[in-house]
Structure 1
Amino acid sequence: MNGHTGIGGDKNESSDVESENQEDMMVDDVEETEQAEYESLNNTIDQLDNYLTELEQKNDDLIVKIQELIDSSRQAREQIEKEEAKDDDKNADKGGGKKKGKKPPEQIEGMPYATL
């Protein structure tokens, strides 16, 4: 132990014990602070994981809905094409006129038409 020399050359052991106690308390405080920081980081990581899981689920749900919309649109388009083909056949049988070609799909201004 490093002791302080008091009056008459005596070591002051109580001062050494106090210094060691203070150092131990400081080390304990640092460890507690580090532990609190680790817990805070773990909580933050858990929150991020939960948010990412929710986001991934929402993304999966959107993909399913988009696929359903594409399928519905495809079925509607096929139904319209069948009806147009029937109408063309009826018109051709009635008048013997020339058969109409397939009409191009309508396009909304600023929106390109895409075949899915």
Structure 2
Amino acid sequence: METLRHIVLFVHLIGFAVLFGAWAVQAFGGKREFTRLMSIGMSIAAVAGLVLAAPWGLPDGAEMNYAKIGTKLVILLVIGALLGIGTARQKRGEKIAPAVFWLVGILTATNAGIAAIW
């Protein structure tokens, strides 16, 4: 069971890497727009994160940190909302506000930092 939990954690990290990597490509070399790959990465990270939040496969005596899980979930919902708003604006031919674009990257990095440090 612990092996399965590690596999899900790996998939979660891949989702984060896809989201942040696609954002970084656009931020530092692209047109600063949201791509489908960002939404896919966020979806992978979200589903795997929710599976990890379930209390299964934990070593004996380990407890879930629900404050951390809740904080990461709220940040994920904000990232999803920003991606959705930005993507809708792009489809209408409008530009994404720079603050929205940069906030997605900052929140994604913050979410990873919370996972690693907290």
Larger radius of gyration: 1
TM-score, scaled relative to structure 2: 0.31
Task: Please give the TM-score of this superposition, normalised by the length of structure 1.
Answer: 0.31
